[in-house]
Amino acid sequence: MDITGTVAVIAGGGGGFGSASARRLAAAGAKVAILELDEEKGTKVAADIGESALFIKTDVTDEISVQQAIDRAAELGPVRIAVIAHGGGGGVGRTIHNDGTPHSLEVFRRVVDVFLTGSFNVLRLAAARMATLDPLADGERGVVINTASIAAFDGTIGQAAYAAAKGGLVGMTLPVARDLSPLGIRVMTIAPGTFLTGAYGDRDPAELEAHWGPAVPFPKRMGRPDDYAQLVQQICENRYLNGEVIRLDGALRFTPRGV
């Protein structure tokens, strides 16, 4: 796909992956709609990018909120790209805690709702908008890029909820790609490893790098948001990428405790 002149909706556009993707796609000629629940983060990213960006406060778990956001994004032009990279907390906790209490069902449901159901909500509504567009080369109308995690494949102790949600994204990639293929809409999923993003909160980046960097086979460092954004751009531009999950992890494999 030629990115120039398209509109990209970025769910979680105020976060590390989302903001890097928004900046990169804008630099490649797209207009970007920053779908973000955090007004401060979303507004800042849109302001940094400039006239080609629009912030839209959005709750990915709410059907009306996402539909309204996509409708507003479509006012900028043809929505042909959707990057789904929102966060919301990993719900860390063992199935049975050390004190004998079971994992919170409410927390489990919330994690799945945000990461899995919320992602599908954005995907289905963005795809419905793409389906109305005139086809481009090879009959392509658009591309949707989900964000899973290598925890979907080798989740660590305490990651039951997060791994289940991200595993769901991995599992739905091929069937949804098959669903949407007659419409010329591609579906891909990126499964990042350890990246220096806001997911680690206020922890010192140097401390994080010292912990995780040596565990990565090559390159021996944590991922950077632009590593993710670069892959987003490459997926958009390569029409033959469809229905696949790409691990972006420097060949890292989690052990039961992470490293």
Angle between helix 16-27 and helix 39-49 axes, rounded to 10 deg: 20
Tell me the C-alpha distance between 66 and 114, whole Å. Answer: 13
Containing 7, the helix (H) or strand (E) segment is strand 7-11
d(CA 202, CA 119): 26
Task: From the candidates 162, 200, 228, 240, give the one annotated as an active-site residue.
Answer: 162
Distance of alpha carbon 161 from alpha carbon 89, whole angstroms: 10
The two tokens of residue 229 are 């954004």
Whole-angstrom CA distances from 52 to 8, 22, 24, 149, 190 are 10, 10, 12, 29, 25
Long-range (24+ apart) CB contacts under 8 A made by 47-50 are 48/23, 49/22, 49/23, 50/26
228 classed as catalytic: no
Q: What residues act catalytically? A: 162
